[in-house]
């Protein structure tokens, strides 16, 4: 269609182009997800592959998770105590720290940290494998790259993120404990009993774990998808890595709102 | 990297992760006290339950003996029907009275149980008749102001 079009028609065509483009990439992503699940059986046949990736995604992320969790807890303790003390209820600082961590901050912050620390690495690794034609070489040897390279990383991420989230929560609560009890002088017994009376296992803890599983699937799928579909050039890999972090952050925050609306509405 | 070293670190990571989850479940959410043993359910009708919520504690002499399991509205009598799941190890007489109390001035509301003197005990499915409603703070303040105004009127 080379016929000269009026400006409104061209604008409408540009809009339509964007929509169809996005729909097509959504379709490609959905097919990739199905292919990924279909070829996941290798993870059961060769668990060593998943263990190796869990080392890189899980164990190597421990330091950043531990340090960030501790400092988030310390800051939460200070800030919440300061605000609550204005209402004369500084004693419930333990409850506020635990609830904010278990429900919200733990799943969201650890997902963001892991996508920056491990998601980008996964994208770069797979993207570089594609650029150096290792993936094509595998296909040539009748090895499915989706099964051999993508699926173990995906499942390693899905297992690691909820575990890392729990570790983040515990270090955060420990940080809150340090500030509240040892720095600000809240009674240790009050700190724990207020927390225990307010945090519910099913509503707060289980919903937090469900959140982190959703985030895990989202961030690690974005990472492997971006890597696998990166343009096989140096520029393409760098773009894909950036896209992984940006899209993971947006998707995690968006999903968090939707999940929270479903989980804690009216409860 | 050596396979054994790798396995060790991943095993340690998974163990720490599971331990953290268990810690949250036990120490933070205090799952141990939520374990539902054998319970029996009794019902009670209240004129006004104030801010009582499902899962609020049922306390006798300050000890938690059960939880509120259900709250319904009886549209015939215009009353709130509250179901209480009480731990089977605690028995109360059939003429027990229930009142909705508040812990602290503005704290959460709970049901206080005051056992009576009847030899017969509450059974599963029984209805408790002796109830007193939640004290609604606004009504209380209104009453106090009204009384003050009346007193003021007589002394002047």
- pLDDT, one tens digit per residue, over B118-131 is 888 888 888 888 88
- In Å, how far are A70, A199, B37, B106 from A90, measured between CA atoms? 20, 17, 35, 15
Q: A218, exposed or middle or buried, with CB in 10 Å at 0-12, 13-18, 19+?
A: buried
- Chain A hits for B23, Cβ within 8 Å: 170
Task: Give the closest-approach CA distance of B19 to chain A in angstroms.
Answer: 9
Residue B117: is its pLDDT beyond 90? no
- Chain B hits for A200, Cβ within 8 Å: 29, 55
Task: Enumerate residues 6+ apart whose C-beta is below 8 A from A231.
Answer: A237, A239, A240
ipTM: 0.79
**Confidence band (pLDDT; 50, 70, 90) for B154?**
low
pLDDT for res B135: 77
Query: How many C-alpha atoms does B57 have within 13 Å on its Cβ side?
Result: 17
Mean pLDDT for B42-56 is 84
Residue B58: is its pLDDT beyond 90? no
pLDDT for res B33: 55
Q: CB-CB: which of B10, B16, B30 is closest to A54?
A: B10
- Chain B hits for A59, Cβ within 8 Å: 9-10, 12-13
| Cβ neighbour number for residue A46 with a 10 Å cutoff | 14
Q: A4 is written with which tokens?
A: 């000269």
Mean pLDDT for B100-125 is 81
- Chain A hits for B32, Cβ within 8 Å: none
**Confidence band (pLDDT; 50, 70, 90) for B101?**
confident
Residue B40: is its pLDDT beyond 60? yes
Mean pLDDT of chain B, nearest integer: 83
Q: For chains A and B, what is the number of CB pairs under 8 angstroms?
A: 78
Q: Which residues of chain A have pLDDT under 70?
A: 1-3, 266-267
pLDDT for res A267: 47
Q: Give B64-78 pLDDT, tens digit per residue.
A: 888 888 888 988 888
> What is the pTM (predicted TM-score) of this model?
0.75
Residue B28: is its pLDDT beyond 80? no
pLDDT for res A141: 92
pLDDT for res A177: 93
Residue of A nearest to B16 (CA): A167
Q: pLDDT > 90: what percent of chain B?
A: 6
Residue B32: is its pLDDT beyond 70? no
- Chain A hits for B33, Cβ within 8 Å: 196
One-letter-per-residue 3-state SS of A167-209: HHHHHHHHHHHHHHHHHCCCCHHHHHHHHHHHCCHHHHHHHHH
Q: A96, exposed or middle or buried, with CB in 10 Å at 0-12, 13-18, 19+?
A: buried
| Cβ–Cβ gap A59/B10 under 8 Å | yes
- In Å, how far are A26, A208, B66 from A243, measured between CA atoms? 15, 26, 52
pLDDT for res B88: 85
**Confidence band (pLDDT; 50, 70, 90) for B36?**
low
Task: Give the closest-approach CA distance of B15 to chain A in angstroms.
Answer: 9
- In Å, how far are A30, B3, B140, B154 from B146, measured between CA atoms? 68, 81, 10, 13
Task: Give the closest-approach CA distance of B108 to chain A in angstroms.
Answer: 10
Instruction: Indicate if the alpha-carbon torsion angle A5, A11, A12, A17 is positive or negative.
Output: positive
| Cβ neighbour number for residue A201 with a 10 Å cutoff | 16
One-letter-per-residue 3-state SS of A17-53: HHHHHHHHHHHHHHHHHHHHHHCCHHHHHCHHHHHHH
Instruction: For residues B21 and B28, give the distance between their C-alpha atoms in angstroms, rounded to a whole number.
Output: 10
pLDDT for res B107: 66
- Determine what percent of chain A falls in helix, strand and coil, rounding each to the nearest 5: 85, 0, 15
Mutation for B interface: A49, A55, A152, A161, most B CBs within 10 A: A55
Yes or no: say if B111 and B101 are a contact pair by the CB < 8 Å rule. yes
């Amino acid at each position: 269609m080379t016929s000269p079009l009026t400006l409104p028609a061209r604008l409408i065509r540009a809009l339509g182009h964007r929509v169809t483009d996005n729909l097509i990439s959504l379709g490609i992503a959905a097919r990739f997800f199905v292919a990924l699940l279909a070829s996941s059986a290798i993870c059961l046949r060769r668990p060593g592959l998943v263990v190796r990736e869990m080392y890189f995604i899980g164990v190597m992320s421990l330091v950043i998770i531990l340090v960030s969790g501790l400092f988030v807890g310390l800051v939460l303790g200070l800030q919440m105590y300061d605000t609550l003390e204005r209402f004369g209820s500084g004693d419930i600082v333990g409850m506020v720290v635990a609830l904010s961590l278990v429900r919200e901050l733990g799943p969201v912050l650890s997902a963001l940290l892991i996508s920056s620390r491990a998601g980008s690495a996964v994208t770069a690794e797979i993207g570089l494998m594609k650029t150096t034609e290792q993936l094509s070489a595998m296909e040539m040897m009748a090895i499915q790259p989706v099964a051999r390279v993508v699926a173990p990383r995906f499942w390693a991420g899905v297992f690691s993120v909820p575990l890392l989230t729990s570790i983040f929560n515990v270090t955060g609560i420990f940080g809150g404990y340090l500030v509240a009890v040892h720095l600000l002088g809240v009674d240790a017994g009050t700190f724990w009993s207020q927390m225990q009376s307010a945090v519910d296992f099913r509503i707060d803890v289980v919903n937090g774990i469900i959140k982190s599983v959703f985030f895990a699937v989202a961030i690690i799928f974005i990472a492997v998808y971006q890597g696998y579909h990166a343009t096989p050039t140096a520029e393409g890999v760098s773009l894909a890595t950036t896209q992984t972090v940006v899209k993971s952050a947006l998707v995690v925050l968006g999903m968090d709102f939707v999940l929270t609306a479903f989980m804690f509405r009216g409860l | 990297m050596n396979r054994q070293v790798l396995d060790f670190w991943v095993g340690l990571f998974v163990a720490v992760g599971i331990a953290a989850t268990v810690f949250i479940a036990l120490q933070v959410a205090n799952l141990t006290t939520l374990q539902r043993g054998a319970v029996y359910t009794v019902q009670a009708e209240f004129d006004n339950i104030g801010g009582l919520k499902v899962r609020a504690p049922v306390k006798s002499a300050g000890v938690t003996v059960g939880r509120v399991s259900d709250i319904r509205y009886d549209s015939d009598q215009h009353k709130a029907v509250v179901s209480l799941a009480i731990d089977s190890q605690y028995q109360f007489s059939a003429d027990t009275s229930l009142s909705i109390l508040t812990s602290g001035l503005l704290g959460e509301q709970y049901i206080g149980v005051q056992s009576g003197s009847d030899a017969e005990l509450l059974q599963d499915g029984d209805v408790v008749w002796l109830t007193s409603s939640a004290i609604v703070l606004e009504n209380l303040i209104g009453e106090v102001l009204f009384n003050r105004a009346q007193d003021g009127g007589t002394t002047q």
